[in-house]
């Protein structure tokens, strides 16, 4: 079992060395992004359900549910729940947008390395140019993979937040009538 972890660690280390330092930054960014996505998923499944029950109990315990004042209180309750649901989604969207930009930065740094090799060794040394080309392409690929996975996850989070808000509104309106 320990041999597996050592092999896994050395494979990741080789991959990062092939892709350059920018790949390490992209990896950290994707890791943080997915931690935030998982936090939102757990909140939707646990914390939001408790908050929704609390808000519905508070609304059901009110005597006045039909006045203008009660409608404003209902809207405020729904808005608070909606803010809690979509809390970290804008930050996640920013992290998703950063992934391809960091990939592009990796491309530029890798190409600079290729040009350095060409300036020193000339165009005939293909082996030394290949290391720079891999440093140019691997971070681009990693940035795109991170961005694509993040786009799918944030879209799902936004849809779920909207659906949960509408469900809460409907439940509170049913209590009203």
Q: How far apart are CA 159 and CA 146, in angstroms?
A: 20
The ranges assigned to domains in the chain are: 25-176
Backbone angles phi, psi at 60, to 5 degrees: -65, -30
Query: How far out from the chain centre does Cα 2 lie?
Result: 31
pTM over 0.95: no
Provide the pLDDT for residue 152. 93
Least confident of 1-10, 38-47, 76-85, 141-150: 1-10
**CA pair distance 17, 51, nearest whole angstrom:** 46
Is 52:161 a contact under the CB 8 Å cutoff?
A: no
| Predicted confidence band of residue 6 (pLDDT cuts 50, 70, 90) | confident
Least confident of 5-19, 85-99, 157-171: 5-19
Distance CA 16, CA 10 (A): 10
pLDDT at 177 over 70: no
């Amino acid at each position: 079992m320990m041999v597996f972890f050592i092999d896994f660690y050395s494979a990741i280390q080789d991959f990062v060395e092939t892709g350059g330092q920018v790949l390490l930054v992209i990896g950290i960014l994707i890791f943080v992004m997915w931690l935030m996505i998982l936090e939102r998923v757990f909140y939707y499944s646990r914390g939001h359900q408790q908050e929704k029950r609390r808000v519905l109990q508070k609304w059901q315990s009110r005597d006045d549910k039909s006045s203008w004042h009660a409608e404003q209180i209902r809207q405020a309750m729904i808005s608070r729940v909606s803010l809690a649901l979509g809390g970290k989604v804008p930050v996640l969207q920013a992290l998703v947008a950063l992934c391809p930009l960091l990939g592009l930065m990796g491309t530029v740094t890798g190409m600079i390395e290729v040009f350095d090799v060409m300036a020193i060794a000339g165009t005939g040394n293909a082996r030394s140019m290949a290391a720079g080309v891999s440093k140019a392409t691997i971070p681009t690929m990693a940035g795109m993979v991170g961005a694509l996975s993040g786009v799918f996850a944030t879209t799902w989070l936004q849809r779920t937040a909207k659906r949960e808000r509408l469900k809460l509104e409907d439940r509170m309106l049913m209590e009203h009538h």
